[in-house]
Amino acid sequence: MEATSKRVQTETSGRLDRGLSWRRLVLFAGVAAAVATGLVSALLGDLEGALVAIGFAVTALLTRVRKGTVGALGMVLVAAITFTFMFSAALTNIGAGSDTQAVLVSASLAAFSLLALISALGVLLRRDSPSGPGPTRSLIVSALVLVALLGWGAFTASATTAPAGIHLVSKNVAFSETILVAVAGEVTVTLENKDLFWHTFTIEELGVDLRVPVGAELPVTFLASPGDYRFICAIPGHPEAGMVGTLRVEG
């Protein structure tokens, strides 16, 4: 009876995955992620996002070279980083009460990058053998997990409203203002992120580190004495790209 059950399970899995291999899937997933990321980057005018889209496209094509190992390794790196940023962005957008577009952009890119990541791992682990779980079953489970986590985030989230104060915008790896002026005491700065990937409003001297995903508009309130304070986006490479400014606090 047990042998018959295993045989039926194997045959069912084979029917689900007929014609679908991990190498075919990683090519499809990489191209889909490249197109989705590229379209969003074009709409936002985000050069950094466009470079990520190129990374997806190049690694997807490399999976067709020989056994696809080099491409799959590159895809794991690009997809893992993108998924980490986009999934956390989706949860943050839900919690911040961001508009539907911001939530959908981050959630959909998280889904595409997760698909690319799983398929690349499938190539590296040589899971196309009959004894291993095929792509279809693995993807169904992954989709259910992603939906469950996003649903949990939506259920536990509570919307926030940005208080009045200094309004700062980040777009195309740049702050809208490099000189901010405030009165000593309690200072509120709201950062609106119009780029695809995360930005921060960070003042190390005051212990301020506000992290804002795509489409979100989040505030931070802190105490500041009179003086000049350097603020940056703490994402690696962004200060060097010019995301630096001065907060001038007057007495």
CB 168 within 8 A of CB 175: yes
Residue 92 CB contacts under 8 Å (≥ 6 apart), including other chains: 211, 212, 213, 216, 218
- Residue 244: in which H helix or E strand, if any? strand 244-250
Q: What is the pLDDT of residues 40-82, one digit of tens each?
A: 999 888 888 999 999 999 999 999 998 889 999 999 999 999 9
Residue 56 CB contacts under 8 Å (≥ 6 apart), including other chains: 30, 31, 33, 34, 37, 75, 78, 79, 82, 116
Q: What is the pLDDT of residues 100-156, one digit of tens each?
A: 888 888 988 999 999 999 999 988 987 555 555 567 766 676 776 666 666 665 555
pLDDT at 178: 95
Beta bridge partners of 68: none
Q: Determine the Cα angle at 35 with ends 31 and 36, to 5°.
A: 115
What architecture (CATH level 2) is domain 166-250? Sandwich (2.60)
Tokens representing residue 87 in the block: 């999934």
pLDDT at 162: 55
Q: Which of the two residues, 124 and 251, has the higher pLDDT score? A: 124
Domain locations in the chain as residue ranges = 2-156, 166-250
Q: Order of strands across the sheet with 217-224?
A: 166-170, 185-193, 217-224
97 confidence band (pLDDT: 50, 70, 90): confident
What are the backbone dihedrals phi and psi of residue 226, each rounded to the nearest 5 degrees, phi first?
Answer: -55, 140
Of 162, 198, 203, give the one whose Cα is nearest residue 180: 203
pLDDT at 125: 85
Distance CA 227, CA 180 (A): 12
165 confidence band (pLDDT: 50, 70, 90): confident
Beta bridge partners of 190: 167, 219
Distance CA 108, CA 110 (A): 5
Task: Classify 200 as helix, strand or coil.
Answer: strand
Residue 146 CB contacts under 8 Å (≥ 6 apart), including other chains: 87, 110, 111, 114
